[in-house]
Amino acid sequence: MILENIVGALIIMFMRIADVTLGTFRTMLVVQAKKYHAAVAGFFEVLIWISAMSYIVQHLDNTVNLIGYALGFAIGNILGVTLEQRVAIGFSQVNIVSLHHTDEIANKLRQSNFGVTILPGEGSFGGVSIIIVIVQRRRLEELLKIVESIDKRAFITVQHSRPYRGYIHGPKV
């Protein structure tokens, strides 16, 4: 009986890990406007979720099943975000402000096949230059390493970017 309860809880946990991982990944696909990919992920997410819920409703008297459900949910979130980070779909906009190394950073990024735009800005101590790069997310770490190898004190912000139109410099995907 005890072994049966543990096996049931493990089944629920693994089903929740699968459906929450897919759900987290699906949410990221929606944000990236990958509607057909999101629909496919959502189909399997819900199919697994319904199966898990069906099993749980039949075994609500077993507290271990509820713990398996909650643990599967928590682990599924971690795995979903990890999966999305590995796949790295889409683009990011990186803004870089370096007080003394703007040209050096821009030149090195351009040599590494990144498209770089430099805009003038005004900081609290006077003029600054803002380096803007739209980068494929899978190349984000490469870009950050280049900047930090030149100026460890550069101010860097990264945000989601969904290009509307135009040319994105760099290797073709």
Q: 44-51 — which CB contacts under 8 Å span 24+ positions?
A: 44/19, 45/19, 46/19, 48/15, 48/18, 48/19, 48/22, 49/15, 49/19, 49/23, 51/15
Is the pLDDT confidence value at 169 over 70? no
| Residue 167 reports pLDDT greater than 70 | no
The arithmetic mean of pLDDT across residues 160-172, rounded, is 68
**28, 89 in Cβ contact below 8 A?**
yes
Rounded to whole angstroms, the Cα distance separating 151 from 106 reads 12
Sign of the torsion formed by the C-alpha atoms of 8, 10, 13 and 15? negative
Summarize pLDDT for 2-47 with one digit per residue, the tens.
888 888 889 889 999 999 999 998 998 888 888 999 999 999 999 9
In the prediction, which pLDDT does 172 show?
A: 52
Structure tokens at 97: 């402000």
Give the Cα separation of 36 and 94 in Å (integer). 28
39-88 residue pLDDT tens = 999 999 999 999 888 888 887 778 888 889 899 999 999 998 898 888 87
